[in-house]
């Protein structure tokens, strides 16, 4: 008897793995407090700083947008990169490996579910932040803005997929590694200020993180007043680099996943728990 | 791909685990989990791998299920090499482990099972139908909408069983599937396994267990494994018949701390094992002949022991294990064996 095609298995896997994040994660209502209210507190703190120093109102928009995009970064870090470690601990990873499906499909399902889950949070942060702090948005080019947003997410989650393949080998270190990355990335990506403020060299180095360029481009497109001294690169250049990063990260994730799975099988790390 | 009729075949399989230097801390840095394991399983067979904790049962299953590479030796599943054709092997197999905590707590039983079915590309309506049928068989039909963080260990394991059988695998690995379950649940699941195999005669199951009665009840053949080596492999009846030339006695003795000198050292005692209970010591002894019993009883009495009961019985798989391994499961557990 002929079974389903590889293509069918791939997409069914994507949908199956996205399901717990799209449906399951909404069942625990505490996310409203932890993922909307708490991030809004950080945003509020920066808003008051900018108001205190009488910064232009666009800066408040930078902060609200940064707060919303930081939700994606946290999702990539804790629910993509280190996810396979948790899957190993609960016994799911063994079942993923034994199943006749693509590991990339499982990661893609996680990513799509994560994007959906986080978009709910990000939209809520932007909506509440905009209303609360009267953010003056004036989108100059909606198609480019959407292009930058989508490409940023593809590149960012591609990076998450690459990191998660590394985490196939990790034990408890996964937790420390995620902690180690969280704050420095928030700083160098300019979540709450234009990245240009760090200087061209640091901003260029931080451009390896898709969210750095994505934020900079979206800020320019939403707050045209920034187009002067505060921009790092032009939005179209940033979109081009983001597209390149998306391709590179997805390609590397695919290769790394195969490599680390083989290595983890050899070292017996696919199913050792409590490391 | 090898063209043989076996569902599973291993050839001189060896797996060594090496601890990292900082983890080893002066202890042995290499653990030989499997040491030249060779066996074969026919299609349609329910084959048992029987052994205490740390014997190498789980390592064997992990290699066959493509989760672990062997250090040396080869293994084939459905005629495919598990090392070089691992992707192809996965189209033929399923796996259920005892004490599994897989799935997502916020999803219901039905949703979790559906999710796993999608990794095999099963159409949603087919998956839902099979899920309902299988849940009814294991007595969980009325709990299909229960979120899994509300499930007891037994219910969770029943769900895991359904997951393993849902994809109707050609070859299924069951790794200690009734571990930690109550008698009733374990009985239900054993009934389910034998019923499924009776309905699907072309399917093969490899079961690892340290429950002798489970292997005896279910398996057409068993391999007895200890310290990474297979010491015997045959049908349970054949293995037991080989012991029928010996005399097997169970003695319950009070006022005796240790039976090693009083029983184990006596002439004519080929193997023995002892377990403590509230009212004394339970000793199972394999004697070369009935005549050796007189010496054993005299020696127990001389050591101050009081015989509470004496029973001559038919050999069990436990006796087979004791005979080929040289110690019982409980003796091994006391030595702290772990897998």
Structure tokens at B220: 């057409």
Interval A99-117: pLDDT, tens: 999 999 999 999 999 999 8
Which of the listed ranges A82-96, A161-175, B77-91 does the model predict with the highest average pLDDT? B77-91
Give how far B217 is from chain A: nearest CA, Å: 28
Judge contact between B296 and B266, C-beta under 8 A: yes
Mean pLDDT of all residues belonging to chain B = 87
Residue A70 resides in a domain: yes
The span from the CA of A69 to the CA of B313, in Å, is 73
Task: Please report the pLDDT score of residue B23 as a whole number.
Answer: 59
Contacts of B295 by beta carbon, 8 Å cutoff, 6+ apart: B266, B267, B268
Judge contact between A58 and A50, C-beta under 8 A: no
Task: Please report the pLDDT score of residue B339 as a whole number.
Answer: 32
Task: Please report the pLDDT score of residue A34 as a whole number.
Answer: 82
Interval B179-230: pLDDT, tens: 878 888 888 889 989 989 999 889 999 999 888 888 888 999 999 999 999 9
Interval B301-322: pLDDT, tens: 888 888 888 888 888 888 888 8
Task: Name which residue leads in pLDDT, A226 or B131.
Answer: B131
A171 pLDDT above the threshold of 90: no
Residues of B with CB under 8 A from a CB of A: 15, 17, 62, 65-69, 86-87, 90-91, 93-95, 97, 100-104, 106-107, 111, 114-123, 147, 163
Average of per-residue pLDDT across A193-201? 90
Q: A99, A104, A262: which to substitute to probe chain B, counting the most B Cβ within 10 Å?
A: A99
Q: Torsion angle of alpha carbons A216, A218, A223, A227, nearest 10°? A: 50
Give how far A168 is from chain B: nearest CA, Å: 12
A241 pLDDT above the threshold of 90: yes
The region, left, alpha or beta by phi > 0 then psi within -120 to 50, assigned to residue B222 is beta
| Closest to A217 in 3D by CA, of A185, A184, A247, A190 | A190
Provide, as residue numbers in chain B, all residues whose Cβ is less than 8 Å from the Cβ of A271: 62, 67-68
Model confidence at B337, pLDDT cuts 50, 70, 90, reads: very low
- The pTM of this model reads 0.86
Task: Please report the pLDDT score of residue B35 as a whole number.
Answer: 95
| Closest to B284 in 3D by CA, of B231, B329, B339 | B329
| Contact yes or no for B65 and A13 at CB 8 A | no
- As a whole number of Å, the CA-based R_g of chain B is 22
Give the rounded percent of residues in chain A with a pLDDT score beyond 70: 96
Residue A148 resides in a domain: yes
| Contact yes or no for B107 and A3 at CB 8 A | no
What does each C-alpha distance from B288 to A156, B31, B292 come to in angstroms? 72, 36, 7
Model confidence at A169, pLDDT cuts 50, 70, 90, reads: confident
Residue A274 resides in a domain: no
A135 pLDDT above the threshold of 90: no
| Contact yes or no for B95 and A25 at CB 8 A | no
- As a whole number of Å, the CA-based R_g of chain A is 20
Task: Please report the pLDDT score of residue B329 as a whole number.
Answer: 65
The span from the CA of B133 to the CA of B140, in Å, is 10
Task: Name which residue leads in pLDDT, B338 or B295.
Answer: B295
Judge contact between B121 and A12, C-beta under 8 A: yes
The region, left, alpha or beta by phi > 0 then psi within -120 to 50, assigned to residue B2 is beta
Contacts of B26 by beta carbon, 8 Å cutoff, 6+ apart: none
A64 pLDDT above the threshold of 90: yes
B126 pLDDT above the threshold of 80: yes
Interval B58-84: pLDDT, tens: 999 999 999 999 999 999 999 999 999
Task: Name which residue leads in pLDDT, A156 or B299.
Answer: A156
What range does the domain containing A253 cover?
A: 27-267
Task: Name which residue leads in pLDDT, A269 or B329.
Answer: A269
Give how far B172 is from chain A: nearest CA, Å: 11
| Contact yes or no for B106 and A28 at CB 8 A | yes
Model confidence at B271, pLDDT cuts 50, 70, 90, reads: confident
Task: Please report the pLDDT score of residue B277 as a whole number.
Answer: 82
What domains are there in chain B, each with its CATH number? 6-240 (3.40.50.300), 245-313 (3.30.70.100)
> CB-based contact (8 Å) between A100 and chain B?
yes
The region, left, alpha or beta by phi > 0 then psi within -120 to 50, assigned to residue A86 is alpha
Dihedral sign, Cα of residue B56, residue B58, residue B59, residue B65: positive
A275 pLDDT above the threshold of 70: no
Structure tokens at B98: 């005892």
Mean pLDDT of all residues belonging to chain A = 89
Task: Please report the pLDDT score of residue B268 as a whole number.
Answer: 86
Task: Please report the pLDDT score of residue A227 as a whole number.
Answer: 62
Query: Structural domain tally of chain A?
Result: 1
Task: Please report the pLDDT score of residue B338 as a whole number.
Answer: 30
Q: B106, B111, B119: which to substitute to probe chain A, counting the most A Cβ within 10 Å?
A: B119
Model confidence at B25, pLDDT cuts 50, 70, 90, reads: low
Provide, as residue numbers in chain A, all residues whose Cβ is less than 8 Å from the Cβ of B163: 95
Structure tokens at B58: 């789980």
Phi and psi, residue A194, nearest 5°: -65, 135
Residue of B nearest to A261 (CA): B67
Bridge partners (DSSP) of residue B69 are: none
The span from the CA of A235 to the CA of A221, in Å, is 7
Structure tokens at A5: 């095609």
Model confidence at A156, pLDDT cuts 50, 70, 90, reads: very high
A271 pLDDT above the threshold of 80: no
Distance of CA B137 to the CA centre of its chain: 23
The span from the CA of B133 to the CA of B222, in Å, is 30
Distance of CA B324 to the CA centre of its chain: 16
């Amino acid at each position: 008897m002929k079974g389903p095609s590889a293509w069918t298995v791939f997409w069914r896997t994507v949908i199956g793995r996205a399901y717990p994040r799209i449906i399951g994660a909404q069942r625990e209502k505490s996310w409203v407090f932890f993922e909307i209210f708490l991030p809004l507190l950080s945003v509020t703190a920066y808003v008051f700083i900018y108001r205190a120093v009488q910064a232009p109102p666009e800066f408040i928009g930078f902060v609200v947008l940064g707060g919303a995009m930081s939700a994606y970064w946290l999702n990539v870090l804790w629910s993509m990169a280190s996810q396979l470690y948790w899957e190993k601990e609960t016994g799911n990873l063994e079942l993923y490996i034994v199943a006749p499906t693509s590991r990339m499909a499982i990661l893609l399902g996680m990513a799509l579910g994560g994007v959906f889950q986080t978009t709910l949070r990000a939209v809520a942060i932007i909506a509440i932040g905009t209303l609360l702090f009267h953010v003056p948005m004036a989108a100059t080019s909606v198609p480019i803005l959407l292009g930058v947003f989508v490409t940023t997410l593809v590149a960012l989650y591609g990076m998450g997929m690459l990191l998660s393949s590394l985490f196939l080998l990790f034990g408890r270190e996964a937790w420390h590694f995620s902690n180690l990355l969280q704050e420095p990335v928030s700083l160098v990506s300019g979540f709450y200020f234009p990245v240009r403020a760090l200087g061209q060299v640091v901003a260029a180095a931080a451009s390896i993180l898709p969210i750095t360029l994505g934020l900079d481009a979206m800020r320019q497109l939403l707050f045209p007043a920034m187009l002067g001294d505060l921009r790092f690169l032009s939005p179209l250049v940033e979109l081009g680099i983001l597209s390149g990063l998306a391709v590179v990260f997805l390609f590397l994730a695919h290769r790394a996943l195969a490599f680390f799975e083989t290595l983890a099988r050899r070292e017996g790390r696919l199913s050792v728990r409590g490391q | 791909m090898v063209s043989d009729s076996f569902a599973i075949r291993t050839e001189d399989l060896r797996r060594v685990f090496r601890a990292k230097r900082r983890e080893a801390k002066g202890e042995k840095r290499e653990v030989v989990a499997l040491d030249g394991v060779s066996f074969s399983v026919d299609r349609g067979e329910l084959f048992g791998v029987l052994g205490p904790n740390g014997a190498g049962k789980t390592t064997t299953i992990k290699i066959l299920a493509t989760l672990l590479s062997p250090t040396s030796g080869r293994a084939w599943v459905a005629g495919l090499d598990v090392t070089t054709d691992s992707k192809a092997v996965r189209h033929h197999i399923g796996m259920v482990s005892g004490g599994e905590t897989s799935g997502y707590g916020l999803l219901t039983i039905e949703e979790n099972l559906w999710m796993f079915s999608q990794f095999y590309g099963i159409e949603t309506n087919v998956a839902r139908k099979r899920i309902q049928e299988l849940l009814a068989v294991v007595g969980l039909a009325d709990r299909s909408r229960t979120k899994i963080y509300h499930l007891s260990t037994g219910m969770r394991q029943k769900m895991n069983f359904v997951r393993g059988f849902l994809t109707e695998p050609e070859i299924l690995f069951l790794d200690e599937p009734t571990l930690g379950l109550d008698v009733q649940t374990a009985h239900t699941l054993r009934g389910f396994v034998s019923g499924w195999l009776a309905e699907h005669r072309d399917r093969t199951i490899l079961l690892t267990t340290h429950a002798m009665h489970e292997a005896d009840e279910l398996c057409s053949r068993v391999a007895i494994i200890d310290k990474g080596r297979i010491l015997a492999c045959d049908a349970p009846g054949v293995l037991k018949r080989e012991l029928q030339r010996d005399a097997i006695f169970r003695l319950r003795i009070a006022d005796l701390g240790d039976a090693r000198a009083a029983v184990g050292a006596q002439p004519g005692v080929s193997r023995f094992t002892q377990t403590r209970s509230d009212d004394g010591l339970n000793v199972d002894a394999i004697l070369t002949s009935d005549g050796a019993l007189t010496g054993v009883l005299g020696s127990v009495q001389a050591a101050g022991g009081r015989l509470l009961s004496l029973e001559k019985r038919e050999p069990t798989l436990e006796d087979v294990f004791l005979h080929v391994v040289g110690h019982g499961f409980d003796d091994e557990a006391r030595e702290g064996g772990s897998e």
